[in-house]
Amino acid sequence: MEKKTFYITTPIYYPSAKLHIGHAYCTTIADTIARFKRLAGYEVFFLTGSDEHGQKIQRTAEAQNVTPIEYVDKIVASFQELWKRLEISNDDFIRTSEPRHHKVVQEVFRRIRDKGDIYKGEYTGLYCTPCESYWTELQLDENGCCPDCHRPVEKVSEEAYFFKISKYADSILKYIEDNPEFLEPKSRRNEMISFIKQGLEDLCISRTSFNWGIPVPDDEKHVIYVWFDALTNYLTPIGFLDDEEKFKKYWPADVHLVGKEIVRFHTIIWGCILMALGIELPKKVYGHGWLVISGDKMSKSKGNVVDPMLLIDEFGSDAIRYFLLREIVLGQDGNFNRDALIQRINSDLANDLGNLLHRTLNMINKFQKGVLLESVGGTEIDESLKNEAAETAREYRVLMENLQISDAVKLVWKFISRCNKYIDETAPWKLAKDETQKQNLSNVLYNLAESLRIIAILISPFIPTTSRRILEQLQLSQDIKLEDAETFGKLEINHVVGKPEQLFPRIEIE
């Protein structure tokens, strides 16, 4: 039987500066979904990367007396370092400056031009360099500035190529209306429907006022303009031009995960490009919310941009991942707050999970020389723990399939709390003092070790390092599958567990 495939992407990030915690949030979500799908037996392709062209990069590089590629090389290396430290398990990293991508973008341009959907014209517009966006007078903010970043716009007039988006307006509107699962959450879908109904203008897709970009085929004084180049990245690594079998295997993408501010490009512009190419649209575009810092939107000018590298240095990657996944409901804006992070580390990671592992292994080592003995019979309390383990694994699968990640994290922690309560209810230290309770003691310790095995599997998409460490301390294989968590009782009799090591030290608050 062929494995089911799953293709997930993040946006490709713009290397105008170092990445902040918002980028880390988006990539952690995508990584968690990818890890879950692998755990569930899918063949996964997970893509992230960098969007490297454009006037803004060219100007920044000139100001620093370096070439654009020298400038982006350095920043992109910092992206890749961050993803490594956050344990991001991407299968490819696409850079739009790579030759493999240039070929794809030029071929896409050629095919759409040959179809008559690209024409040459004159463009006059108000251009915001930092956002790489054109605006009409009506769209500017009250100060006549860019409505997105509120910085001044420049009047630009030049010869340009245009893509006939207007031709596809009715088709893309019908597609979004007929396929509710294509764009989530629902609020973003409604925004896009009303945006299209206001009318779509043809899209300017080339520029002549700078040259840091992919040349237009047969007209090299033009470079292909940002979104036409950037969005095509999703086709490049899965063999659009050079590996038909691979392309068939992974396209259409299952999920494009993007920030809510770029949903328009990923649904309307990308949808129209694909329609013009005669290629299926992605199955889902998911627009996640923003990360606000203690209630305030992150911005460089406010000086409240949080550097994820520094957080990882201080707290470790799993603590950061856990906080982002648990605290923020996918699709809504979320609040990042240092005090809340420390509180989560202390209560959920050190107390609930760390203590459960430590107490369990300690007792198995102390009362049974580290050996798991046969579990026979059992009390009502034992049965209720086993039932909850099975119920948790079942519900977890459903939540994760529906991208309800925050709920899935909470569900697993509810089971962790149940295990801690089970220790208090069964009091193994008392059972150990009574010879007649030997079987009961064996049962309780077996059930706890087995619960930890299941927990280690379920948390592996969220906090992979911690999952590995739990399996190591239980002396179990790292080769895990989701179905292994759905059966209680897989630990072998006479299995020997390891010695406990602290997972998360408590953080003292001054």
Q: How would DSSP label each residue in 145-203? A: S-TTT----EEEEEEEEEE--GGGHHHHHHHHHH-TTTEESHHHHHHHHHHHHT--PPE
- Res 134: pLDDT: 77
- Dihedral sign, Cα of residue 423, residue 426, residue 432, residue 433: positive
Residue 245, Cβ density class (10 Å: 0-12 exposed, 13-18 middle, ≥19 buried): exposed
**Per-residue tokens: 385:** 């723990």
Contacts of 405 (CB under 8 A, 6+ apart): 29, 32, 33, 325, 330, 399, 462
CB 214 within 8 A of CB 223: yes
Q: At what angle do helices 21-39 and 405-426 cross, to 10 degrees?
A: 70
**Per-residue tokens: 467:** 């999952």
Whole-number Å distance between alpha carbons of 3 and 425: 44
The pLDDT tens digits for 442-454 are 999 999 999 999 9
Cα angle 93-240-51, degrees, rounded to a multiple of 5: 35
Contacts of 156 (CB under 8 A, 6+ apart): 123, 124, 125, 126, 127, 134, 209
* Mean pLDDT value of segment 222-251: 95
Whole-number Å distance between alpha carbons of 456 and 485: 9
The pLDDT tens digits for 278-336 are 999 999 999 998 888 877 777 666 777 788 999 999 999 999 999 999 998 888 888 88
Whole-number Å distance between alpha carbons of 39 and 32: 10
**Per-residue tokens: 301:** 């000018």
CB 378 within 8 A of CB 445: no
Cis peptide before 252 (omega within 30 of 0): yes
How far is CA 140 from each of CA 31, 109, 134, 154, 300, rounded to the nearest angstrom? Answer: 36, 30, 10, 12, 21
* Beta-carbon count within 10 A of 68 CB: 22
Q: Which of 231, 212, 220, 205 is nearest to 134 (CA)?
A: 205
Q: How would DSSP label each residue in 206-223? A: EESS---SEEETTEEEEE
Q: Which of 227, 300, 290 is nearest to 261 (CA)?
A: 290
**Per-residue tokens: 148:** 């997105």
**Per-residue tokens: 270:** 């990308």
In single-letter form, the type of residue at position 262 comes to I
CA 108 to centroid of chain Cα atoms: 27
CB 453 within 8 A of CB 481: no
The pLDDT tens digits for 171-184 are 999 999 999 999 99
Q: Which is more confidently placed, 298 or 355?
A: 355
Region of residue 303 (phi > 0: left; psi between -120 and 50: alpha; otherwise: beta): left
* Mean pLDDT value of segment 8-20: 89
Q: Which of 49, 108, 52 is nearest to 226 (CA)?
A: 52
Name, of 2-16, 282-296, 452-466, the range with top average pLDDT: 452-466
Whole-number Å distance between alpha carbons of 50 and 230: 9
Q: How many CA atoms lie within 13 A of 194 on its CB side?
A: 5
Please state whether beta strands 291-293 and 296-297 pair in parallel, antiparallel, or not at all (unpaired). Answer: antiparallel
Whole-number Å distance between alpha carbons of 252 and 280: 6
Q: How would DSSP label each residue in 346-380? A: IIIIIIIIIHHHHHHHHHHHHHHTTBPPPP-S--H
The pLDDT tens digits for 135-162 are 888 889 999 999 888 999 998 888 999 9
Residue 27, Cβ density class (10 Å: 0-12 exposed, 13-18 middle, ≥19 buried): buried
- What's the whole-number average pLDDT of the chain? 94
CB 50 within 8 A of CB 72: yes
**Per-residue tokens: 110:** 């050629």
Whole-number Å distance between alpha carbons of 311 and 320: 7
Whole-number Å distance between alpha carbons of 140 and 148: 9
Domains recognised in the chain with CATH numbers = 349-485 (1.10.730.10)
- The count of residues in the chain is 510
Model pTM score: 0.93
Please state whether beta strands 203-204 and 154-163 pair in parallel, antiparallel, or not at all (unpaired). Answer: antiparallel
